[in-house]
Amino acid sequence: MTTVIGIAGSLRRGSYNAALLRAAGELMPAALQFEAGSIRDIPIYDGDVEAEQGIPPAVAQLKNRIAAAQAILLVTPEYNGSIPGPLKNALDWLSRPPADMPAIFTGKPVGVIGATPGALGTALSQAALLPVLRAFKLKPYFGSLLYVSGAAKVFDENGRLVDDAVRQKLKTYLEGFARFVNE
C-alpha cells in the first residue's frame, strides 16, 4: 500500500490548516492510504540540546513515520508572507542529523497546500517552502495548486469543509497528487 503522511503546520486548536488536512484525509483517493502526523510536541531547535541529548522523541517518532511513508503532504499556514515558525522549526529538526536525510526524504514525493482567512491562499508561504523542499531533496508535486483563501467561510465552526468549490479543487489536487506519487 502507498502511504501518504500529512502534516499541518499549525498548533492552533481551531486551525484551518488542520481542518484542511482532515478534509484531505477524507477525500484521499483509494490509491493512497492517508495518515496524519503531528508537529505538536517538537521543541524549539537548539544545537546544544541536539549535541547533549540527541534527537527529541517527538522528532524521532515523526522521522520514523515519514520514513515508513511513500509520500508527504504539507499543509501550511502563512505568517508574515512566509513559513510559520512552528512548521519551519519542525522541518529543521526533521533534517537532523543530515546523514539520516537520504533514507527519509531524498526523492520522496511531496505536496504542499494551505489555508488562510486572507485573500492570497498561502501562496507566499507555499513558495517560501520551495527552497526547503530542495534542501531536503524532496520531489515536489507541481501538477496543480491549492490556495484556500477566505477560510473562515470555507470551514464551519467544527472545522468541516463546507465549501463545495474548494472540496472539488481539493479532490482534483489529491487525484493528481496520487497519480504523481504512484508514477
Q: How many residues bind ligand FNR (CB under 6 A)?
A: 14
CB-based closest residue to ligand FNR: 118
Report the residue from 2, 12, 64, 131 that binds ligand FNR according to the rule CB under 6 A: 12
Cell of 18: 488542520
How far apart CA 7 and CA 9 sit, in angstroms, is 6
What's the DSSP call for residue 53?
H
| Nearest distance, CB of residue 106 and ligand FNR, angstroms | 28
Q: Does residue 150 interact with ligand FNR by CB under 6 A?
A: no
How far apart CA 6 and CA 122 sit, in angstroms, is 17
| Nearest distance, CB of residue 81 and ligand FNR, angstroms | 5
Report the residue from 4, 6, 7, 15 that binds ligand FNR according to the rule CB under 6 A: 15
Which of residues 109 and 114 has its CB atom nearest to ligand FNR in the complex? 114
Residue linked to cell 531533496: 137
Query: Angle CA(145)–CA(137)–CA(97) in degrees, nearest 5?
Result: 130
Which of residues 10 and 95 has its CB atom nearest to ligand FNR in the complex? 10
Strands 3-8 and 33-36: parallel
User: Across-strand partners of 139?
Assistant: 109
Residues that bind ligand FNR (CB under 6 A): 10, 12, 15-17, 77-81, 116-118, 120
